[in-house]
Amino acid sequence: MEWYLPLIWAGVIGTAVAMYVIMDGFDLGIGILFPFARSETERDQMMRSIAPFWDGNETWLVLGGAGLFVAFPRAYAVIMPAFYLPVIVMLLALVFRGIAFEFRTVSHSKSGWSWAFVAGSTLAAFAQGVILGGMIQGIKVENGAYAGGPYDWATPFGLLCGLAMIAGYGLLGATWLVMKTEGAIAVRARGQSKACLIAVLVFMAAVSLWTPLAEPRIAERWFSLPNFYYLWPVPAVTALVAFGCWYWIEKERDAPPFLAAIALFMLGFLGLVISNFPYLVPPSLTVWDTAAAPSSQIFMLVGTLLLLPFVLGYIVLVYWLFRGKVREGESYH
């Protein structure tokens, strides 16, 4: 039990993080693409395509944070102080983009809050990338507590990951627009999808080369035998999915590019898990080192297994109710 539980919880939190990255990813992506719209009317239409969902999407971030606190309090207590500044910046950025949804409609000077939406979305994505990059590079831990300085996260690799995240969310956002809007926006979004896809592939390649070169443990994980025999399909499938994404954009299909973008994210996520498992706080603390008391994990697990199907059920309901494309000229309330 003491061995299984942390693994199950790692799976639950991995799922929450993946859900967050995909779902808030596409709506943060809308903010990242906001500057390229031609008018506030177009921006209304873009915002309308995510307005009923964004709040629920962001809740996965709370589940990820709370889940880490529930299941791995010692990891939570190391990661948060280690990324103190990027976390606070991300939260403040999310504050501005969250209220921009409401304030922008109420205010008749929309462009001011459009800016807040752009800045908040982009900065939040960047900060999340920086945090991810810092996690991959490793956190200095002594006696179970964070032992580094306030700017340890500010490395070239961290900044690279920040930019990668912006490109990635941009891809999710652009393919979402292809699927969910009509008219000029959808046409433009096809071009944006391609640009973002190229950027994402470049960043994925950069991270895939950089990490094994910089971190021997990651090189060993991927390139030692027999691991390599099992793991080579991951990059191969990634290439295939990327090709598919491009192909479907070219063919002017609606949903497949978005689904391919999601698959691309999942493959990247899988790659990171393969690189770092079983470390939750690389390179020192594993899922077992940081796990909460078994009774706490069980108590919460029972609730999660009972409640999550309902949560997913009504999330599906809302996506179904607001199915279909948002037409030109459709605005917020």
Partner 1 sequence: MEFDPVLLARLQFAFTIIFHIIFPSFTIGLSAYIATLGVLWLRSGEERFQLLMRFWVKIFAVSFAMGVVSGIVLSYQFGTNWSRFSVATGNVLGPLLGYEVLTAFFLEATFLGILLFGFDKVPRWLYVLSAAVVAIGTMISAFWILAANSWMQTPAGHEWKDGIAYPLDWLRIIFNPSFPYRFAHMLNAAYLTTAFVVIAVGARFLIGERNIAEGRTMLRMGIGLAAVLAPLQLVIGDQHGLNTLKHQPIKVAAMEAHWEGSKPADFHIFAWPDEKAGTNRYELSIPKGASLILMHKMNGLFPGLLSVAAKDRPPVATVFFAFRIMLAVGFFMIAAALLGAFFWWRGSLFDTRWYLRVMAHTWWIGFVAVIAGWVVTESGRQPWIVYGVMRTADATSPVPGATIAGTLALFILAYGVVFSFGIYYMNWLIAKGPDLGPDAVKSGSEPGGVSPIASTKDAGQGIV
Site residues (CB under 8 A) for partner 1, limited to 245-304: 292-293, 295-296, 299-300, 303-304
Subset of residues 218 to 247 that bind partner 1, contact rule: CB under 8 A: none
Q: Which of 171, 210, 213, 177 is nearest to 193 (CA)?
A: 171
Is 14 one of the binding residues for partner 1 (CB under 8 A)? no
Q: How far is the CB of 189 from partner 1 (least distance, A)?
A: 16
Give 117 or 222: the residue with its C-beta nearer to partner 1: 117
**Closest to partner 1 by CB, 7 or 311:** 311
Closer to partner 1 by CB, 99 or 159: give it.
Answer: 99
Give the E-state strand segments of the chain in sequence order: 141-142, 145-146, 279-281, 285-286
Cα–Cα distance for residue pair 287/268, rounded to 1 Å = 20
Three-state DSSP class for residue 145: strand
Closest CA to 91 of 115, 111, 65: 65
Inter-residue contact 147 to 141 (CB < 8 Å): yes
# binding residues, partner 1 (CB under 8 A)? 80
State whether the Cα torsion 121-69-52-103 is positive or negative.
negative
* Residue 237: burial class (beta carbons within 10 Å; 0-12, 13-18, 19+): middle
Shortest distance, position 27 Cβ to partner 1, whole Å: 12
Stretch that binds partner 1, among 192-200, 231-239, 240-248, 310-318 (CB under 8 A): 310-318
Token pair 């309308």 is found at 48
Question: Does residue 64 contact residue 22 with C-beta atoms inside 8 Å?
Answer: no
Q: How far is the CB of 132 from partner 1 (least distance, A)?
A: 16
Q: Which is nearer to partner 1, 20 or 169 (CB)?
A: 20
Q: Which stretch binds partner 1 (CB under 8 A): 28-36, 126-134, 187-195, 213-221?
A: 28-36
Residue 145 gets the label, from left (phi > 0), alpha (psi -120 to 50) or beta, of beta
Residue 51 or 242 with smaller CB distance to partner 1: 51
50: tokens are: 């995510």
Task: Supply the minimum distance, in Å, between the C-beta of residue 252 and partner 1.
Answer: 26
CA distance 227 to 123: 37
- 11, 273, 307, 329: which one contacts partner 1 (CB under 8 A)? 307
1 lines the binding site for partner 1 (CB under 8 A): no
The mark string for 117-156 relative to partner 1 (x by CB under 8 A, - otherwise) is -x-------------------------xxxx--x------
Interface positions, 46-105, toward partner 1 (CB under 8 A): 51-53, 55-56, 58-59, 61-63, 65-71, 73-74, 76-81, 84-85, 87-88, 91-92, 94-96, 98-99, 101-103
DSSP string across 77-104: HHHHHHTHHHHHHHHHHHHHHHHHHHHH
Verify binding: residue 13, partner 1, rule CB under 8 A: no
CB of 177 to partner 1, least distance (A): 17
